[in-house]
Amino acid sequence: MKFSCKYASLGWILGIVTFTGASAQTVDSTYDNSHYRERQELFATLPKQKKAIVFLGNSITEAGKWNEILPGKPVQNRGISGDNTFGVLARLPDIVAARPAKLFLLIGVNDLKREVPVTVIIDNYRKMVQMVKEGSPKTKLYLQSVLPVNDTILIEPFRKVTNANVAKLNEALQQLAKDNNCRFVNLHEPFADAQGQLKRKDTPDGLHLKVGAYAIWVNYLRSKKYL
């Protein structure tokens, strides 16, 4: 497999990532866009916090009113709508450099949307785990499972995301957490229905969460003593 490990490489920005092995494969690794840059610029202006609790991810994380749900705690919302594992890997050094107390990571559904292979997603996760362990060894890292979708109402751009692929990714993610002594957070417990779908009451479009669902999320983390 041929892959550049330079975090902000031009290849990632342009989406030119080629894997070689049994067969050549090019995946869409783009992440750099106007919203990504705007959020990064915002993050750079915010004051540093000691013992921060960081929620890192895509639009699902960005939409969370974490400071309101967790008043009095040094919470940082580092979600960027549309982000994927390549984008998180590119901006993770800044987060690690601040040495947060806890880091809750939820990323991967936009990779699945682009049909990025699970092996590639997990390889990016592996790099993230290594970066945190080496750069901020006292940070407690929580790998949160990718949420299920509800395919009965799933919005068109995400029709390529299936719960079968979500399950495959989460299984590999759980094993990665086990191998690296990280905490795996199974968000299917509070959010999946009996059929393994994202609960209809918690989602407006089969993918994202309603405002009230974030309290469920936080209460689940509290029940597991993660917060």
Helix (H, G, I), strand (E, B) or coil at 198: strand
Residue 165 counted as domain residue: yes
Helix (H, G, I), strand (E, B) or coil at 184: strand
Distance CA 43, CA 79 (A): 10
CA 41 to chain centre: 20
Residue 94 counted as domain residue: yes
Encode the chain (227 residues) as per-residue pLDDT tens digits: 333 333 344 444 445 455 544 445 688 999 999 999 999 999 999 998 999 999 999 999 999 999 999 999 999 999 999 999 999 999 999 999 999 999 999 999 999 999 999 999 999 999 999 999 999 999 999 999 999 999 999 999 899 999 999 999 999 999 999 999 999 999 999 999 999 999 999 999 999 999 999 999 999 999 999 99
Per the structure, the count of domains in the chain is 1
Residue 201 counted as domain residue: yes
Residue 35 counted as domain residue: no
Reference 103, options 135, 76, 73; nearest CA is 76
The rounded radius of gyration (Å) of the Cα atoms in the chain is 17
* pLDDT at residue 24, rounded to an integer: 53
Looking at the DSSP bridge assignments, the partners of residue 201 are: none
* pLDDT at residue 19, rounded to an integer: 52
State the CB neighbour count (10 A cutoff) for residue 61.
24
Give every CB contact of residue 144 below 8 A, 6+ residues apart in sequence. 104, 105, 106, 185, 187
Residue 118 counted as domain residue: yes
Residue 40 counted as domain residue: no
* pLDDT at residue 10, rounded to an integer: 40
Residue by residue, DSSP assigns 55-115 as EEESHHHHT--HHHHSTTS-EEEEE-TT--HHHHHHHHHHHHHT--SEEEEE--HHHHHTT
Question: The domain containing residue 189 runs over which residues?
Answer: 49-223
What element of type H or E holds 27? strand 25-27
* pLDDT at residue 26, rounded to an integer: 85
Residue 43 counted as domain residue: no
State the CB neighbour count (10 A cutoff) for residue 194.
6
Q: What is the CATH number of the domain that holds 155?
A: 3.40.50.1110
CA 184 to chain centre: 13
CA 197 to chain centre: 19
Q: Is the pTM of this model over 0.85?
A: yes
Residue 106 counted as domain residue: yes
Tokens of 105: 């990571």
